Amino acid sequence: MQDHTVPSRRTFLVRTGTAGLAMATPGWLAACMARSRPTNVVLIFADDQGYADVGSYGAVGFTTPHLDRLADEGMRFTDFYASEGVCSASRASLLTGCYAPRVSIFGALTPAAQVGLNPDEVTIAELLKSLGYATAAVGKWHLGHLPEFLPLQHGFDEYFGLPYSNDMWPVDFDGVAVTEGSLSGYPPLPLIEGDEAIETVDELADQDRLTVRYTERAVDFIDRNGDRPFFLYLAHSMPHVPLGVSDAFRSSSEQGLYGDVMQEMDWSTGQVLDALDRNGVSDDTLVIFTSDNGPWLNFGNHGGSTGPLREGKGTAFEGGPRVPAIMRWPGRIPAGSVCDRLASTVDVLPTVAAITGATLPDHAIDGVDILSLLIGEEGAAPRNDFLYYYTGELRAVREGRWKRVFEHRTRSYVGVEPGMDGHPGPYAFPTVAAALYDLEADVGESIDVSGDHPDVVARLDALAEEARRRLGDRLTQRVGNEVRPPGRHGLDRVDSLQHEAVGARVVSATRSDPRYPGAGPDALVDGGVGSGDFRDGRWLAYDGVDFEAMLDLGSARRLSRVGLDCLQNQAAWILLPRRVVFAVSDDGEQWRELTPIHRPPQPDDAVRAELLAVDVGEGPVRYVRVRASGHDALPSWHPGSGISGWVFIDEVVALV
């Protein structure tokens, strides 16, 4: 596992003076108890940095002396994985120790998202805060931009940074502000301190200052807390496009702007290490450096390198989730060691808990304690397998050397011309066949050996089936039985509504789009109302088509109004229906059409639910019929102009 001799667990305990304590104290809490002070944790997280974008991993065209120093003084991992090859999902896993589907964070949350990390989830910061640690998050968050989801609500004492990706702004790739097209739908990019936006990032020059500003905040936090235990989470916005670099590093590398950015990020790491040295806490600090996923390869010379790995960000091939990872903990992690065992970002939380003596969450997590790897315990292999999820799809599983890939449609960078100088190239979207790869012999995943190893295929298929049972799989339409909900932004209303149509028989209804099936047509009369999250399971969805439904209330009765509860989130291409027409009847044959409700679409940034209702007038009513006109083409003022829009409905309401 390592490239030189490392101590056994017992030798490690003897060297650190904790062998006796270990007899009575479980795990590695003993090692920390015997030390003069608790172990600090510094977690540095890059954004879209490729596997081969560190000197010790084979970087070409730029140098990373500080990261190389970190590797020389600690451990470099060859088979370390971010949980997914995409931003928000990866970050959720890092901080909670869970695969993203378990905590229901999918893909990359946009500024239109009405969800975030659930406050019931326990983060590394919350674990350590309970032990008296000072905690700070600096940089990119991307786990919910609304106030209830920001870092201060997840165990961090302070926060400074961007709430989501630095390309989610109304600025084109050339740095010019846009007024039309998809980018124009983004709001100004806020820089947040605590819970408040203090300024906006408006131009490329503002991006140039991000790494320096983050570094200054990180170093200041260490300087202010050098006399107490602390946890620093430094999540860089770089090298995610648009690339930004200060004048001090511009044109400093042979590679170009991407190399300049990497050299400035390396400088940033050096500044953090210097701050630890200056405060005399280096020996008491675990430093972890890794990336949220692989590089965005269609940006060409503004994207990184995966070296020998296949594909990149946004895929479940090795170049998507396999990332560089370096850890240093002087006197515990053998200097200059290399680990080729499986490990993942989901393992950081339980490992930090083991080091610090923090209590693990009561709920299930997916990470394992990898301390035995860190200290070089002979034969240690705490992680036996890894699940390659991507946006809820279980695309592959790995056990040891074997990787089983399941048939799926994927983004691909093969066979298409990449972009250049900050502009993206296109993707290909092939459907890849099921396969088995031997990653020890074929890390580039080029030779399918499933026909030679049917026993391995069967074993990994069984492993995948168990994962589907627990965590679900959108590829096979499975819902996991251990999945927990995300945090959902409320709409300042109660979550249920009592009215005359609750429990009515739905005679007919337009089928919801299978991408958002909700709870089926009966959800239209269950009294439950949706949140701001259109994926919450209560909303039924209609893409570019009209909605129709007919209800039987069971008996005739007097009603004052009937209505349709609808969602608006124009940034997510969800608009109120253009027109809603109700008709009522006491016998199901003679119908009386009510006054139509006209709602021509107008620009409105608010995310809200609205009951589109009309007076019924005189006469008994048993049957209610409704038709809502969808959007086959979004209006000219919308960023998606000309493309179909959505209508989301959660309840047909009848009021006395």
Q: pLDDT for 495-518, tens place per residue?
A: 889 999 999 999 989 999 988 888
Contact 111, 489 (CB under 8 A): no
Which pLDDT score, from 0 to 100, does residue 490 have? 87
Which pLDDT score, from 0 to 100, does residue 35 have? 53
Q: 217-258 pLDDT, tens per residue? A: 999 999 999 999 999 999 999 999 999 999 999 999 999 999
Q: How confident is the model at residue 26 (pLDDT cuts 50, 70, 90)?
A: very low
Which residues face 336 on adjacent strands?
none
What is the Cα–Cα distance from 54 to 295, expressed in whole angstroms? 13
| Cβ-based neighbours of 12, under 8 Å, separated by 6 or more | 31, 332, 375, 376, 377
The residue behind tokens 């630890």 is 276
Name the nearest CA neighbour of 161 among 194, 129, 125: 194
What is the Cα–Cα distance from 172 to 422, expressed in whole angstroms? 10
| Cβ-based neighbours of 566, under 8 Å, separated by 6 or more | 576, 577, 609, 610, 611, 612, 628, 647, 648, 649, 650
pTM above 0.85, yes or no: yes
Phi (first) and psi of residue 13, to 5 degrees: -65, -40
What is the Cα–Cα distance from 39 to 25, expressed in whole angstroms? 17
Which pLDDT score, from 0 to 100, does residue 2 have? 36
Which pLDDT score, from 0 to 100, does residue 383 have? 98
Which pLDDT score, from 0 to 100, does residue 4 have? 34
Which pLDDT score, from 0 to 100, does residue 515 have? 86
Q: How confident is the model at residue 30 (pLDDT cuts 50, 70, 90)?
A: very low
Mean pLDDT (whole number) for 611-629: 96
Which residues face 655 on adjacent strands?
561
Higher pLDDT, 535 or 395: 395
Is the pLDDT reported for residue 328 higher than 70?
yes
Identified catalytic residue from 87, 98, 339, 566: 87
What is the Cα–Cα distance from 251 to 258, expressed in whole angstroms? 10
What is the Cα–Cα distance from 519 to 472, expressed in whole angstroms? 17
Is the pLDDT reported for residue 616 higher than 50?
yes
Sequence ranges of the chain with CATH classification 2.60.120.1190: 490-655
Q: How confident is the model at residue 31 (pLDDT cuts 50, 70, 90)?
A: very low
Phi (first) and psi of residue 548, to 5 degrees: -135, 145
**Residue 49: both structure tokens together:** 């940095």
Q: 263-282 pLDDT, tens per residue? A: 999 999 999 999 999 999 99
Q: How confident is the model at residue 492 (pLDDT cuts 50, 70, 90)?
A: confident
| Cβ-based neighbours of 620, under 8 Å, separated by 6 or more | 556, 557, 558, 586
**Residue 375: both structure tokens together:** 């200290």
**Residue 541: both structure tokens together:** 């969805």
DSSP labels, 522-573: GGGGSSB---S-TTSSS-EEEESS-EEEEEEEEEEEE-SEEEEEEEEBGGGT
Count of CB atoms situated within 10 Å of the CB of 184: 15
Is the pLDDT reported for residue 71 higher than 80?
yes
Grouping H, G, I as helix, E, B as strand and the rest as coil, residue 592 is strand
Q: In 193-293, where does DSSP find H-type helix?
A: 204-208, 210-224, 257-278
Instruction: State the DSSP H helix or E strand holding residue 548, giving kind and residue range, or none if neither.
Output: strand 547-558
Tell me if the bond preceding 239 is cis, omega within 30° of 0. Answer: yes
**Residue 320: both structure tokens together:** 């998507």
What is the Cα–Cα distance from 114 to 371, expressed in whole angstroms? 37
Half-sphere exposure of 197 (CA within 13 A, CB side): 13
Is the pLDDT reported for residue 373 higher than 70?
yes
What is the Cα–Cα distance from 638 to 435, expressed in whole angstroms? 43
Identified catalytic residue from 32, 98, 142, 499: 142
What is the Cα–Cα distance from 390 to 158, expressed in whole angstroms? 31
Which pLDDT score, from 0 to 100, does residue 117 have? 98
Q: What is the CA radius of gyration of the chain?
A: 27
As a CATH number, domain 394-471 is: 3.30.1120.10
Mean pLDDT (whole number) for 533-549: 94
- Catalytic: 142? yes
Which pLDDT score, from 0 to 100, does residue 37 have? 85
In CATH, 9-383 is 3.60.21.10: no
E strand segments, 313-378: 325-328, 337-339, 343-344
Q: 156-183 pLDDT, tens per residue? A: 999 999 999 999 999 998 899 998 888 8
CATH architecture of 490-655: Sandwich (2.60)
Q: 117-136 pLDDT, tens per residue? A: 999 999 999 999 999 999 99
Q: Counting Cβ atoms within 10 Å, is residue 519 exposed (0-12), middle (13-18) or buried (19+)?
A: middle
Q: How confident is the model at residue 574 (pLDDT cuts 50, 70, 90)?
A: very high
Mean pLDDT (whole number) for 286-296: 98
Which pLDDT score, from 0 to 100, does residue 418 have? 96
Output the CA torsion sign for 233, 144, 89, 205.
negative
Mean pLDDT (whole number) for 383-404: 98
Sequence ranges of the chain with CATH classification 3.30.1120.10: 394-471
| Cβ-based neighbours of 524, under 8 Å, separated by 6 or more | 506, 509, 540, 549, 551, 649, 650, 651, 652
Higher pLDDT, 17 or 471: 471
Sequence ranges of the chain with CATH classification 3.40.720.10: 9-383
Is the pLDDT reported for residue 24 higher than 80?
no
Q: Percentage of the chain surpassing pLDDT 90?
A: 89
